[in-house]
Homo-oligomer: A and B are copies of this chain.
């Protein structure tokens, strides 16, 4: 894969900085004949859009997507789809100090060290705005999945914010879209809201989160045994999102604590094929989907941009303290939910295409 591209057959290249004229995604390899309109993509962008509620940055941009190519009469043609989003809320300001200072926890210092140049306005390419392009591309992937494998549904949600976790006993799919956290546990919303408000206003702080993304209805047999494993590509997809520091499939890191007897997903024969007694594997065995729910989790670190002072240095090596004012999410993990969904969609579509390319859909019968 090249520097800014992901995918084997469904290939997405994102481009653009936080404060340039626009950003977007070049989507190559989409199947032809897929119904696709800008509003279909906008639907997902609106989920991610900042300024939607009090929990996210107050930067308020419409994030309106334009389809510049690859779609004719509301249908994909099989040629590259260019998705462009104009940057509209780039407040003009004095970047003098920011240009010379490295914010702790940001890519400022490593960009400078690597390239000898950096677009210091709003983080440039490392800004969370890059994820808007992912969400747009994910909208294309979702449209294609709907055409190819309509049984598939993809859903992301927060299961942890800082020290606070959900109670899985109260898990409610329908609750996810009803609160500001995309949280499936309605019992925690009030507490999380209070905590986040306090964190931002009083503690001048931020907090991390864990997002879980589930793909349901994915047929058995997509993926590959070794490097292009479905879990490999999912791990890469999620880890490529800004601020993500860990990725888990199924049991994830907790698998290390289990014994083989406890971790076994026993197999029985069900009415529609194999059934499993559990899903420790997260729907993937040997890199290939089992037909169960594909379950991925990733950890988003707390936003480094906080109002509390942190020690740092300037380009000239002198010491300084950094307080990051401006419009920053106290829990950037919230907006990572639609981003994780988009990456899941892109990977699932890519593997659906890859599988039919290599195998043509041959399947070993059971029963």
Contact = CB atoms under 8 A, between A and B. Distances in A.
B107 A288 contact: yes
Given A31-B360, A114-B359, A246-B251, 12 more contacts: A4-B225, A5-B227, A22-B69, A31-B359, A110-B287, A126-B286, A162-B259, A206-B259, A245-B252, A246-B249, A256-B301, A315-B366
A239 interface: yes
Contact of A358 (B31, B116, B300, B315): B31
Interface string A229-254: 10111111011101011111111111
A147 to B, nearest CB: 10
A216 interface: no
27 contacts: A5-B11, A15-B80, A16-B68, A32-B117, A32-B358, A33-B115, A107-B286, A110-B285, A110-B289, A110-B290, A113-B221, A115-B362, A148-B360, A160-B256, A205-B259, A208-B255, A232-B240, A235-B239, A245-B250, A246-B249, A246-B253, A248-B299, A254-B299, A255-B301, A258-B301, A315-B364, A357-B357
Contact of A162 (B257, B284, B287): B257
Interface in A114-149: 114-119, 124-126, 130, 148
A337 interface: no
Contacts of A170: none
B355 A354 contact: no
A245 B249 contact: yes
Given A162-B259, A311-B277, A226 B3 contact: yes
A282 to B, nearest CB: 7
- Residue in A2, A282, A284 whose Cβ sees the most chain B Cβ within 10 Å: A2
Given A207-B260, A300-B255, A226 B11 contact: no
